[in-house]
Structure 1
């Protein structure tokens, strides 16, 4: 993939199904396991793609040229809890795109009224667990079979809890339909692979 092409993030929808399937087919088994905790098939089932592109919350894709290289979403899991999830192509992992896309999903979930975020993580996914612990040190964690469920306050991943003015501005931008490009997002001091 040509890394010099412009990276764009936009809202996702059903027309993205074929390109998203292509990205999923290109992922390693480990990346797929860390995101879905089960086999999804190659090619993935249309029902899975539909749930990813049209969740009970919202979804976004990152594109480089004509190819989808990232997917992020949030979905309601309760009255005030939004589950956040992200998946990044192999070539784009460990470059900060996952955290940037999580920031977009988190801001949208907060704008929709989420008070808590849920992350469902494999205990083997050390990088994601460290990212959660850095951003939400007091995160409650509960084992659910072979998975870890982290419930954290609905604060943007790269913002301190007291920076409400910054959070409010990002929410207002999302309400106006603005999705920040990668260059407009604040730089991250760490890079995190796909969740």
Structure 2
């Protein structure tokens, strides 16, 4: 492992200037990782319209970087239904299974809660066993509906790993986001389960 990978990636809010780096990260994903995240072909390089939706959603987007190279993306966007935010993340191949996906989802979840989300939606391929296990473990009270090859989980809005998140914990995590760049390792406690690629 080289020295640039010894520390945790930094998580910050994303924006349009991140388009080229995000395209590079998405292009480096395996076909399976891209399918699990998007459930469709996204092109190589990804289309500009897709990148814009990922970086400027109706909610908020975040990227994780190592030496200014994007290694992860998470976002939330308002979904149909009262006060429901859809959460999604995608992590570079070399960074998967290290807890970064759950930490980034925690950042997006805290931001969505602060914006008024009361429910989370996760749309997951029925073949994506790692993501299904992650949702069931982190949000055990989620309900699920199947639509063809997709599973839609709806859960009460709370941070992963916490059965009932106290308001002061949410305020603390959201407050750290307002300061700009945040060490990803400081967002959540260590995790021991696989990181989702959705």
Distance in 2 of aligned mates of 1:33 and 1:187: 29
Question: Contact 2:146/2:152 (CA < 8 Å) preserved in 1?
Answer: yes
Q: Alpha-carbon deviation of 1:158? A: 2.3
Provide the TM-score with structure 2 as the length reference.
0.91
Provide the TM-score with structure 1 as the length reference: 0.93
Residue in 2 that maps onto 1:114: 117
Alpha-carbon separation, structure 1, partners of 2:106 and 2:124: 18
Q: Is the counterpart of residue 123 in structure 1 residue 112 in structure 2?
A: no
Q: Give the C-alpha shift of residue 179 in structure 1.
A: 5.1
State the alpha-carbon separation in 2 of the partners of residues 120 and 53 from structure 1: 19
Counterpart CA distance in 1 for 2:165 and 2:49 is 40
Match of residue 190 from structure 1: 192
Q: 1:44 to 1:17 in 2, by over 3 A?
A: same
**Stretch of structure 1 that moved more, 89-98 or 153-162:** 153-162
Q: Paired residue for 2:12, among 7, 10, 30?
A: 10
Number of residues paired by the alignment? 194
In the TM superposition, what whole-angstrom CA distance separates every residue of 1:111-167 from its partner, at most 9, and x where no partner exists?
Answer: 000000000000111111111111222210001222000000000012221533322
Q: Distance in 1 between matches of 2:76 and 2:26?
A: 18
**4+ residue segments displaced more than 4 Å:** none
Q: Is the 8 A contact 1:82 1:109 kept in 2?
A: yes
Superposed CA RMSD in Å reads: 1.7
How far did residue 20 of structure 1 move? 0.5
Unaligned runs of 5+ in 2: none
Match of 2:157 in 1: 154
